[in-house]
Chains A and B, each alone.
Chain A
Amino acid sequence: MEEEDQQKVADLIKELVIRLLSQNPNSESHPPTPNSPQFQSSLRYAFRLISSRLTPSVSPDAAAIAESTKRRLATQGKSSQALTFADLYTKFASKTGPGSVNNKWAVLYLLKIISEDRKNVKTQLGSLVLLPNLALNDGELGNESRVLLGKGNKEKGWNNGVLLVLKDPENLREIAFREFVNLIKEENEVSEEVLVRDVLYACQGIDGKYVKFDSGADGYVLSDVIKVPRAIRLMVRKLCELGWLFRKVKGYISESMDGFPSEDVGTVGQAFCAALQDELSDYYKLLAVLEAQSMNPIPLVSETASSGNYLSLRRLSVWFAEPMVKMRLMAVLVDKCRVLRGGAMAGAIHLHAQHGDPLVHEFMGRLLRRVCSPLFEMVRSWVLEGELEDVFAEFFVVGQPVKAESLWREGYLLHAGMLPSFISQSLAQRILRTGKSINFLRVCCEDRGWADAATEAAAAAGTSTRRWGLGYGETDALESLVDGAAKRVDKHLLDVIYNQYKFKEHCLAIKRYLLLGQGDFVQYLMDIVGPELSEPANTISSFQLAGLLETAVRASNAQYDDRDILDRLKVKMMPHGIGDRGWDVFSLEYDARVPLDTVFTESVMAKYLRIFNFLWKLRRVEHALIGAWKTMKPNCITSRSFMKLQHAVKLQLLSTLRRCQVLWDEMNHFVSNLQYYIMFEVLEVSWSNFLNEMEVAKDLDDLLAAHEKYLHSIVEKSLLGERSQTLYSSLFALFDLILKFRSHADRLSEGINELQARTLESSVPSRNKSKTKKRLNDTSEPGSWVSEGRKALTQRAGEFLRNMGQDLDALSKEYSSLLEDFISKLPMQQHVDLKFLLFRLDFTEFYSQLRPST
């Protein structure tokens, strides 16, 4: 069988050689004979060729070869032929069974190689025939001399070239096209592989051989010296955008990292850089794979030159599509964040995360989780431990070194610029307050109990509160953590303030002493400091007053109060000018110490002081009126003792007394109603509201607000506010008038007493003589009545009474005009409670009827 086959092969080869030789156009004249030496040598040559290569160099795959052949036809622009070929191949392949060709792939492969060989020969011929000048450069003929070449050309032109061209005009175009391709190839001084490699370098920020960074054009460009088609130049430029972006991102990272210890990049910035670095390392991996791939050829069946390297520029552009998107995003972020730090940076990145593209969204989410983790860690430690671990001032809570008393109000502030937009304003406020509460407890209250509250809060918020456990996108978890912590810490803080520091008791004490709620104490104080305060301000010693205050406390029910509270009550002398009386400068002061001075700040205490001054004055006026009453009670001045007076004088005395009484009554009506209004409608109502609000207050801010409101309502309602300034001044004029009245009334009653004494003396001269004398010596009246006779006495009394009557008339007129003024101004007040004061003062509509306008 073997031998038979061998024989068959030999026969067939012989036949083949004969056929081939017989086709030879040169040897047509002498048909080959089996014995001719030419035939013998050809045959030997053929055998040698066949035996030299026994196995094919490609794997036998008929379909692949057919496919590649078809594609080649298609690329040569012969698409109809390609289709026909494909059709023929399918038919050919479907022939099976006996009689069909067994070794189909071999046949196809054979056809393909022969056709390619032939084409190469033709191209050679074509180039020689059509473009003789260009052919000078042809490598194969480069070593030939011009003369010889010329000869050869002629021969060839005669033999094939012209003939061929004439025969097939299609061919002409094809040859021209192929020539063009060759030209292009020559023009492309660099092959695509080299360009691909360069682009890959450029994408790592390294200058390649041909693609270099051009700072003028601000990008990687193919240098102009190299001749490549415009399309490729553009393509390279486009691909190198990635390199440009990479350079930018990389530059930012190294800049940040290099300057790290000296410049304050901040932890958020570092996290950002680290996240970018991670993304870049993914990118490096991709580049490494691509670079490895670029060395491999496309796994094609045929080994001929048609299969280029795996990576072409076009393939690269597909590979780069996704990294390009990411890199662009990163570059945009880097641009945005260059000047930003901390929370602001996170916020800026967050703005880019709102993206519909899932790729971008996911990428940004990953980035943000990294970037925000330091920020969330800060929030966590702030909320749970009150620690402000913010070396680089990145957190949206800023601490300031302040005194303990203003720690709550000014110690910590929200930095709006550092507040990332994914944390809402209200949440930020809560975060701020929680940490502030902890710090307040620690610094001002010296309390350690908050730690338990914080631990409890952490436990309640669940697993997400462990270190680094919070992340971007878990705003709900953050919120619940903050809420939990805030609730507990605030509750603890209020407990401490209420129970340990007795906030309520102190408020009550202030109300009782500063707002004169403790009546007996005020009365007693007024009694004993009154004489002292009538002296000029500069002669009064505050130590003496402090002693008097102490006495007043001991004498009144205030002595049963807590010692701690009483210790805080002090006398305060305000700075005084020339001519000020003690009344003008005296005031009480309450020393609320840390931590309550957070509530009772200096400005609050100043308000209390104003209220105190007002109330003190009111009390003084009331006290004065009562003192006047004491001396002019009808039973003090009995008409019995005036029996001996002249009728005219007696009448005058009675009418003056009556006028005085009426005026006093009017004043008393006014003052006691005002007093009532202030004490009950203002102080007690506000206090009751304040107590209610204190009950529902959830944190210190609520408490502060409630207290502020309490104080404000007192100030507004007692005419101390800005808007009631004119009213207040007329009220003070009224007070002054009343005090003036008091001195007049005193003088009147003194005069009357004098008169009484005189008349008594004249009737019972022996009685109390020395006493009367002594008193008479004290009187300020110029000249004494003692030496006068009875008539003179009567005359003096009449004059005195007339004077007093005139004074009283003037006072009364002034008073009624002032009061009318006051009452007319009262309805203009906005505050509804002041209306009640009006009703009360003008209950019988006595004053409104008097007024001509109404």
Chain B
Amino acid sequence: MYVSLFFFLQLLNMDAVAAKTARESLDLAFQMSNILDTGLDRHTLSILIALCDLGLNPEALAAVVKELRTELVPLPPSDAAHAIP
């Protein structure tokens, strides 16, 4: 009874359900991300998920995240001297 009602509702508001699922998925991914201590915020994560869905290589994405972050981390002076010019 309940299940059939649920399907009915799903048929009716397809878009609403899709949006809800997307939100929940993001929530779950965010929680996992927190557990794994990735240090990503929600927005960045959503961007990354979108990129993954578009078929980009997750390794490459991870490399981008890592590189851009370490770039921001102050490097030893010799490296920094190179980077500035």
Contact = CB atoms under 8 A, between A and B. Distances in A.
Interface of chain A, main secondary structure: helix
A155 B52 contact: no
Nearest to A81: B35
B43 A115 contact: no
Nearest to A156: B74
Interface string B1-30: 000000000000010011111101100110
Given A50-B56, A55-B57, A100 B35 contact: no
Contact of A50 (B28, B61, B78): B61
B21 to A, nearest CB: 4
Interface stretch (A86-94, A360-368, A814-822): A86-94
A159 B74 contact: yes
A99 B25 contact: yes
B72 A24 contact: yes
Contacts of B14: 98
Given A9-B56, A107-B29, A114-B38, A99 B19 contact: yes
Interface in A442-475: none
A740 interface: no
A851 interface: no
A45 B68 contact: yes
B60 A49 contact: yes
Contacts of B76: 144, 148, 152
A100 B25 contact: yes
Interface in A388-406: none
B35 A73 contact: yes
Contact of A21 (B40, B68, B73): B68
A12 B50 contact: yes
B77 A118 contact: no
Interface in A20-61: 20-21, 23-27, 42, 45-46, 49-50, 52-57
A845 interface: no
Given A111-B33, A118-B38, A152-B76, A50 B52 contact: no
A8 B62 CA distance: 19
Contacts of A13: 51, 64
B71 A42 contact: yes
A45 B21 CA distance: 34
A640 interface: no
Contacts of A50: 56-57, 60-61, 64
Interface in A836-854: none
Given A91-B28, A110-B48, A85 B56 contact: no
B19 A20 contact: no
A49 B63 contact: yes
A813 B20 CA distance: 148
Contacts of A254: none
Interface size class, chain B: 35 or more
A88 B63 contact: no
Nearest to B29: A107
A371 interface: no
Interface string A59-101: 0000000000100010000000100110011011001011111
Given A16-B44, A148-B77, A110 B32 contact: no
A115 B47 contact: no
A53 B59 contact: yes
A107 B78 CA distance: 36
A202 interface: no
A4 to B, nearest CB: 10
A101 B25 contact: yes
Given A24-B72, A85-B36, A99-B19, A109 B51 contact: no
Nearest to B21: A99
Interface of chain B, main secondary structure: helix
B47 A15 contact: yes
Given A69-B36, A91-B28, A103-B52, A16 B21 contact: no
A26 B18 contact: no
A227 interface: no
A188 to B, nearest CB: 28
Best-surrounded residue of A54, A88, A106, A114 (most CB of chain B within 10 A): A114
B64 A46 contact: yes
B47 to A, nearest CB: 5
Given A20-B65, A53-B59, A53-B60, A9 B36 contact: no
Contacts of B60: 49-50, 52-54
Contacts of B18: 97-99
A114 B24 CA distance: 22
Contacts of B51: 9, 12-13, 16
Interface in A141-160: 144, 148, 151-152, 155-156, 159-160
A810 interface: no
B44 to A, nearest CB: 5
A114 B49 contact: no
Contact of A110 (B25, B52, B69): B52
A20 B69 CA distance: 7
Given A49-B63, A99-B21, A110-B52, A88 B57 contact: no
Nearest to B51: A12
Contacts of A53: 57, 59-60, 63
A113 B49 CA distance: 14
A22 to B, nearest CB: 10
A356 B74 CA distance: 71
A624 B15 CA distance: 151
A88 B32 contact: yes
A119 interface: yes
A55 B51 CA distance: 14
Given A8-B54, A16-B47, A92 B29 contact: yes
A113 B57 CA distance: 12
Contacts of A106: 52-53, 56, 58
Interface string A644-660: 00000000000000000
A155 B76 CA distance: 9
A85 B32 CA distance: 6
Contact of A100 (B22, B38, B50, B52): B22
Nearest to A102: B53
B28 A12 contact: no
A209 to B, nearest CB: 37
A98 B21 contact: yes
Given A21-B68, A160-B73, 19 more contacts: A5-B54, A8-B54, A9-B51, A16-B47, A16-B48, A19-B41, A20-B65, A24-B72, A42-B68, A49-B60, A49-B67, A88-B35, A99-B17, A110-B61, A113-B58, A114-B65, A114-B66, A117-B65, A155-B74
For the complex of A and B, 7 pairs with smallest distance between CB atoms: A99-B18, A24-B72, A115-B36, A99-B21, A113-B62, A98-B18, A110-B58
Interface of A: 5, 8-9, 12-13, 15-17, 19-21, 23-27, 42, 45-46, 49-50, 52-57, 69, 73, 81, 84-85, 88-89, 91-92, 95, 97-103, 106-115, 117-119, 121, 144, 148, 151-152, 155-156, 159-160
11 contacts: A12-B50, A20-B68, A49-B60, A49-B63, A50-B60, A84-B35, A88-B32, A99-B17, A114-B33, A117-B65, A119-B37
